[in-house]
Structure 1
Amino acid sequence: MGTDRLDEVLDAAYDCLTRYGVRRTTMDDIATTMGVSRSAVYQYVRNKDDAFRKLARRLHTQALERAERAAATPDAPQAERIRGVLAAKLDLVLRLAGDSPHSAELLDHKARLFGDICHDFTGSLRRLLIGLFGEAGTPATVEPAEAADMCIALVIGLESVSEGEHLFGPATDALLTGLLVTPPLDAPLNVPLS
């Protein structure tokens, strides 16, 4: 029951975030959204900062789990596995940005509350990509870590343009053609953004 109730608190915190943003949300807002007293919310989080940190951690963990599943897909071509890792990152950003302009606060690497969570998430994705490029092989002039960094930079760029989800396929195809010893298949692989 504790986990279910914590999920309810985090769902309510997300609802408040989309309406008010982190700074303007209060513990009373979270409690009202849940339909409980403020003291009931305090049984699961210490304060609103704790609620938002737990919410950010949950969202980043879900995206990382998706990336790990994509990276570990047996019998999938390396390019498809790499695209799956990158899609998990882009999907997280697009989902949050689509829900509310306030939701993007959970992705701010410089934010006091979430910076470490965002940094750890990107570091985990980087390690997955390094492993995939290590398995697949890269041209002699590009180390797997450099290939991973280029892919992450590509996704960060796609996050900042209005049509990023539409550019994802062609952009990753073009990049992977130059980064993989065995280039991607001629036909683009569509890794759906959820």
Structure 2
Amino acid sequence: MPADRLDEVLDATYECLTRYGVRRTTMDDIASAMGVSRSAVYQYVRGKDDAFRRLAGRLHDRALTQARRAAADQDASCATRIRGVLEAKFDLVLQLSGDSPHTAELLDEQARLFAGICTGFTTDLRSLLTALFAEAGTAGPVTPAQAADICLALVVGLESVPAGTHLLRPASDALLTGLLGAPVEASR
């Protein structure tokens, strides 16, 4: 299966999602957005649910790649690497909440179609953060896994605040200073 044609299907699926939402999008809508027949779309996906699952997977995979890249940057401090992981999660939310009211459906951990993808994404981010905190060491009785959970909770909280974009960096700096037990370099 040519990956570029699958990408076209997923791009068309995203376009339909922004217009109609998951429930109201049909395979005909996806085919129309691509300018092909419905049967042509079925060559790449099994149906609408498969198209949306693959789309959600692609978007979460891109964010996870960004997070892994940040976590692996050995030239950066642990605090900067942790911030990079948090920013990858936040960037995904900003992208999906900004394009349309419907696109946020891809973030719903309770949704039948996306629950496994969203949960897996969060689990992978938690693992990256736990490893970074284990490497850096945490202050006091906080374990690396608890520090990871606290950081993820911060991002989830900021996702619901209109000024969250402007608060992520200073909030993560303050939180990391406490979790790491030493002042971190302020981010810009």
TM-score range, shorter chain: over 0.9
The answer for unaligned runs of 5 or more in structure 2 is none
The answer for unaligned runs of 5 or more in structure 1 is none
Q: Following TM superposition, by how much is the alpha carbon of 1:182 offset from its aligned partner in structure 2, in angstroms?
A: 3.8
Q: Following TM superposition, by how much is the alpha carbon of 1:75 offset from its aligned partner in structure 2, in angstroms?
A: 1.7
In the superposition, the TM-score normalised over structure 1's length comes to 0.95
- Cα distance in 1 for partners of 2:77, 2:182 equals 10
Q: Following TM superposition, by how much is the alpha carbon of 1:100 offset from its aligned partner in structure 2, in angstroms?
A: 0.4
Corresponding residue of 1:189: 187
Q: How does 1:35-184 map to 2 (within 5 A)?
A: 35-184=35-184
Matched residue type, 1:189: S
Over aligned residue pairs, what C-alpha RMSD do you find?
A: 0.8
Query: Is the CA contact (8 Å cut-off) linking 2:139 and 2:181 kept in structure 1?
Result: yes
Query: Is the CA contact (8 Å cut-off) linking 1:136 and 1:182 kept in structure 2?
Result: no
In the superposition, the TM-score normalised over structure 2's length comes to 0.98
Matched residue type, 1:28: D
Query: Is the CA contact (8 Å cut-off) linking 2:170 and 2:187 kept in structure 1?
Result: no
Q: Following TM superposition, by how much is the alpha carbon of 1:172 offset from its aligned partner in structure 2, in angstroms?
A: 0.3
Corresponding residue of 1:32: 32
Matched residue type, 2:155: V
Query: Is the CA contact (8 Å cut-off) linking 1:136 and 1:181 kept in structure 2?
Result: no
- Cα distance in 2 for partners of 1:146, 1:183 equals 19
Moved over 4 A (4+): none
Q: Following TM superposition, by how much is the alpha carbon of 1:76 offset from its aligned partner in structure 2, in angstroms?
A: 0.4
Aligned residues between the structures: 188
Query: Is the CA contact (8 Å cut-off) linking 2:10 and 2:55 kept in structure 1?
Result: yes
Q: Following TM superposition, by how much is the alpha carbon of 1:139 offset from its aligned partner in structure 2, in angstroms?
A: 1.1
